[in-house]
Structure 1
């Protein structure tokens, strides 16, 4: 029942989208509670007193915070359409690659979007090396999860959509077909999957936000 599952999030947040996508893949109804991040609700602060951040999943009155922790909770609670492989080794490898993306790729790509000059060049080179390593996990597969979208795909959706749009505003292309063919193909497949396509925030709305941020940082410089 939808009233049993609530997601405190924000429409443009990739971390909120991770949680919503996992629920959609499982076919779980949920109530989406849109947070104003400049004026967080008392309920959000009550449910996530440690980090005071979105997303928060509330299931049967119990809150779970942090998107990757929530994904594992969703997978363990609703066993159908598994996000993690059944085999213990494959399961461990999925967790490894999700962690690798979080720790090695995400920040470097983000810093490439936000920095300038030689600093940007440095972050871009590091991001490229890490993405080439990440790409090895796709060898011979449509998705990181095989034929179906899994935990690593959901973790990396921020790369395929949010970061790609942000880089577009900055004037950089990282996931080029010539340099990262498997990642490029994966991003196309993922973003054209109906369940993903239907749930992504509007492209023009996100682009407008990223452009405004770029202008603000240029004016502040």
Structure 2
């Protein structure tokens, strides 16, 4: 993909490799060989990077997420502003399948499980990861793999006002965090139409643009 998708003032997300969380930043300098970005930050904290550290840089363009990996060349100050310098990438990677672009978030959610007597059991928790194919749900209560669940996804304000989508899903994995006792549950959407999937994907890209695209 063309590296011309990079420009001054572009909002980006920077993650320390191999598995660091994404922090917000902005491209402040750009030429044919290098780019410089402001110190990445999140929730009032800065991502501490040094010369030689490897990072992943991501940004949104239209309906795709682009990324590249680089090694910090230097740290410098310009007009008393700290900048980190990377080689300008020759190629950008593009996530080809929109369905699998994932949105990290914190969204309160209640999932409902049908009981044998016809009533429903309600489990409260939060969504921490959303894609067009499913979501990751965190709660204090575990459920068996292959359990069928139902929930209502609030998809924010779209072209037709506030959107809420009733979705069915199937639990395909469960992980218990021994340190926090949190239960992480992977839920795959089941029986949703392509139109409904597109609603979810549209919400994901609206949220991504808010985070890492220019106004």
TM norm structure 1: 0.23
Normalising to structure 2: TM-score of the pair?
A: 0.24
| Structure ranking higher in helix proportion | 1
- Point out which structure has higher relative CO (alpha carbons under 8 A, 6+ apart): 1
**Structure with the higher strand share, 1 or 2:** 2
